[in-house]
Amino acid sequence: MKKPVRPADICAHLGDDYEKQLGAIIPPIYQNTVFTRKTASYGYTYSRMNNPTNEILEKKLAALEGAEDARVFSSGMAAITSALLSVLKTGDHVVTTGSAYYPVVVFLRDEAARFGISATFLKNGSPEEFKAAIKPETKLFYLESPVSNTFRVLDLRALAKLARENGITTMIDNTWATPLYQNPLSLGIDYCIHSATKYLGRHGDVCAGAVMSGAENIKKLRESSANGAMLDPFAAWLLIRSLRSLGPRMARHGENARKVADFLLRHEKVKELFWPGAGSDPGHKLAASQMSGFSGLMSFTLDTDKKNAYEFLKRLDVFEEGPSWGGFESLISAPGMTDNEEYLELTSIPKGLIRISVGLEDAGTLIADLEQGLSAI
């Protein structure tokens, strides 16, 4: 296929060169560090800068997000911090939400502050809040939509417009939606970031991150000596493999999530559900205007005390308790069970919040597991 443009075709075929690959339908792994000077005309010198295997992955990811170029990293946090450091300098100010991925909040609050970079953490993330937080030194809006844990939806078009009018760069973590269901660059955002550990690669065997943006932005990111957290070529090869099934996997995640959400919404022990795919969710209308689908990560609170909530967690058989999300396996965690009031206030996480990542198992099996767990309350 010469010029794949549809997402499924991009995932399957973009970057393939069967003639160059000796007819192999699976691209080889260039598991090497150095390319000799006699071959420099091909554009490769050192794998920290670029690598043929990584390049195939980057072409696919850039095309999926409608970007000019992409850069892949060894983790989502490596991608995020590298992108932040490529934009920010001493004296700059960042506006974000306290509900952003907590390691990013900690990085901006503690680590970046050591280098004279300040940050304001908003409660809700409305355009009005962002506008009120702008200072003369504001350089960046760092966004998530839907946001971590409570999955509140931000108005990306309005925030991109506000940023452009004030000479501010915009950056978003688009991991929840994937490039299949949301393309922030088309809405005016400057940088799009993914933890490719999640849906993009989620067979449970690769940790990776990616940044998509304009060619000059990625060139700067690629050439920065501070951004040496490049993705190993074998991990890139695994991600290329994973992307081939991204469409069918996301469809199944979304289908299962809708059935699980419908069950939770009807259950008398569930106090509140947080998932923008539900028509009753406050952000559903806005989400539908800037997204084309919904993934399998959601959260809810229970109408019970902490003791019974823990009993619910212990009774589950299919949902395993653990970090991360977006994989074939269904996972559960309880970020709202902490006694750290300062953390709950900063992140806007309701007390007792439980988060589930709906996997690829049979939806009936997942619902039955939740039902028997809730029966313990």
User: Is residue 103 located within the same domain as residue 136?
Assistant: yes
What confidence score (pLDDT) does residue 30 get? 92
- Of 189, 222, 243, the one marking the end of a domain is 243
Q: Where are the alpha helices (DSSP H) in 209-275?
A: 215-223, 233-243, 246-266
User: Is residue 252 located within the same domain as residue 217?
Assistant: no
pLDDT above 90 coverage of the chain, percent: 85
Number of structural domains in the chain: 2
pTM value?
0.95
- CB-based contact 275:298 (threshold 8 Å): yes
> What whole-number distance in Å separates Cα of residue 68 and Cα of residue 301?
41
**Which helix (H) or strand (E) element contains residue 59?**
helix 52-65
**Which helix (H) or strand (E) element contains residue 71?**
strand 69-73
User: Is residue 77 located within the same domain as residue 99?
Assistant: yes
Q: Does 159 map to a domain? A: yes
User: Is residue 175 located within the same domain as residue 44?
Assistant: yes
DSSP state of 201: T
As given in the structure block, the two tokens for residue 267 are: 């259950």
Q: Does 2 map to a domain? A: no
Rounded average pLDDT over 225-240:
87
Q: What is the mean pLDDT of the chain?
A: 94
pLDDT band at 329 (very low <50, low <70, confident <90, very high): very high
CATH at residue 277:
3.90.1150.10
Marked catalytic residue, from 198, 222, 249, 269: 198
> What whole-number distance in Å separates Cα of residue 120 and Cα of residue 138?
10
119 CA to centre of own chain: 21
Q: Does 84 map to a domain? A: yes
Q: pLDDT tens digit string along 242-252?
A: 999 999 999 99
**Which helix (H) or strand (E) element contains residue 365?**
helix 363-374
Q: Which amino acid is at 235?
A: A
> What whole-number distance in Å separates Cα of residue 137 and Cα of residue 120?
12
Q: Does 105 map to a domain? A: yes
Task: List the domain range (segments joined by +) for residue 316.
Answer: 246-374
What confidence score (pLDDT) does residue 376 get? 86
User: Is residue 210 located within the same domain as residue 134?
Assistant: yes
User: Is residue 232 located within the same domain as residue 361?
Assistant: no
Q: Is residue 40 scored above 90 in pLDDT? A: no
Please tell me which of 7-11, 18-22, 213-217 the model is most confident about, judged by mean pLDDT.
213-217
What confidence score (pLDDT) does residue 27 get? 87
Q: Does 108 map to a domain? A: yes
User: Is residue 94 located within the same domain as residue 224?
Assistant: yes
pLDDT above 70 coverage of the chain, percent: 98
> What whole-number distance in Å separates Cα of residue 359 and Cα of residue 134?
40
Residue 357's closest CA among 260, 288, 276?
A: 260
Q: Which amino acid is at 30?
A: Y
To the query of whether residue 60 is one of the catalytic residues in this protein, the response is: no
To the query of whether residue 262 is one of the catalytic residues in this protein, the response is: no
What sign does the CA torsion over 281, 286, 292, 298 have? negative
User: Is residue 132 located within the same domain as residue 253?
Assistant: no
User: Is residue 167 located within the same domain as residue 295?
Assistant: no
- Of 218, 243, 268, the one marking the end of a domain is 243
To the query of whether residue 109 is one of the catalytic residues in this protein, the response is: no
Marked catalytic residue, from 173, 190, 232, 369: 173
Marked catalytic residue, from 20, 48, 285, 314: 48
- Of 243, 261, 285, the one marking the end of a domain is 243
Q: Does 1 map to a domain? A: no
Marked catalytic residue, from 101, 181, 191, 199: 101
User: Is residue 118 located within the same domain as residue 137?
Assistant: yes
User: Is residue 174 located within the same domain as residue 278?
Assistant: no
What confidence score (pLDDT) does residue 44 get? 86
To the query of whether residue 42 is one of the catalytic residues in this protein, the response is: no
User: Is residue 232 located within the same domain as residue 216?
Assistant: yes
Strands 270-274 and 297-302: antiparallel
Q: pLDDT tens digit string along 150-172?
A: 999 999 999 999 999 999 999 99
CATH at residue 110:
3.40.640.10
